[in-house]
Amino acid sequence: MSERVVMVTGASGNLGSAVVDVLMDSSAGIVRVVHDDVGETFEPAADGKAAVFTLGGIDTSDPQACALVVEKVLERFGRIDGLVNTVGGFGMAPVGLNDVAMWDRFMSMNAKTAYCISAAALKPMQDAGYGRIVNIAAAPGIKAGAQQAAYAASKAAVLRLTEALAAENRKHGISANCVLPGTIDTPQNRKAMPDSDRDGWVTPEAIAEVIAFLMSPEGGVVTGGAIPATGKAA
């Protein structure tokens, strides 16, 4: 992967930043796409680490913003080999008319973001005959629990999007997969669930290692998959 350029959305989050760290040694370029308005910066490759191109203030639910991101990446690196979408959110509420806004918010935050940036990145991948796309789904996208209608439906949309991407682009040498994390061991989750047994939680770094394999040339043997990353086996 030493010549590969990988774009990571939500790169300032716990999982996104772990993905960036894990891919730094095996990539030529990392593109950090973040929502925070941190501007545009470039750090050249050094000490065997990838060059890092940061694009801030990006709303990946906006198709025009996604198209601009891809244009900037191609101007900088001339290629996009991989895309990891970690943008998303979680929330719970029973089905009711008062919670329609939550439905719209999660459909945009979890599903539309993955659709728009994937659609924007496809053309250069197709032209190159190579690409790797990884989206973050969740187990409720397969079977929802109580108060998970909006969240589960949005993650189900991510799963179906990924399956369609895989089916449409296998002939172009592009794989598309979902990773389904369990409870991620983050400071936010520790604060929200202080009394939980964390033995079964999974670290962002462990999930990032799974994603790194899916980003690799060897990872192309897997496509259209929904891969659980729910914690270490006993």
Active-site residue set: 151
The reply to whether 42 falls in a domain is yes
Is residue 192 situated within a structural domain? yes
Containing structural domain, residue 186: 5-229
Q: From the CA atom positions of the chain, what is the Rg in Å? A: 17
Q: Is residue 124 a part of any domain in this protein?
A: yes
Owner of token pair 């991510």: 158
Q: In which residue are the tokens 């409870």 written?
A: 183
pLDDT per residue rounded down to tens, the chain (234 residues): 568 999 999 999 999 999 999 999 999 999 999 999 999 999 999 998 999 999 999 999 999 999 999 999 999 999 999 999 999 988 888 888 877 899 999 999 999 999 999 999 999 999 999 999 999 998 889 999 999 999 999 999 999 999 999 999 999 999 999 999 877 767 676 776 676 766 777 888 999 999 999 999 999 999 999 999 887 655
Q: Which residues contact 167 (CB under 8 A, 6 or more apart)?
A: 224
Query: Residue 182 belongs to a domain with what CATH number?
Result: 3.40.50.720
Per the CB < 8 A criterion, the answer to whether 42 and 53 are in contact is yes
- Backbone φ and ψ for 9, nearest 5 degrees, come out as -90, 155
Structural domain count, the chain: 1
Does 234 reside within a domain?
no
Q: What are phi and psi of 166, to 5 degrees?
A: -65, -45
80 located within any domain = yes
Output the pLDDT for position 156.
97
Q: Is residue 122 part of a domain?
A: yes
Q: What is the pLDDT of residue 230?
A: 83
pLDDT at 167: 98
The model's pTM: 0.93
Residue at 104 is within a domain: yes
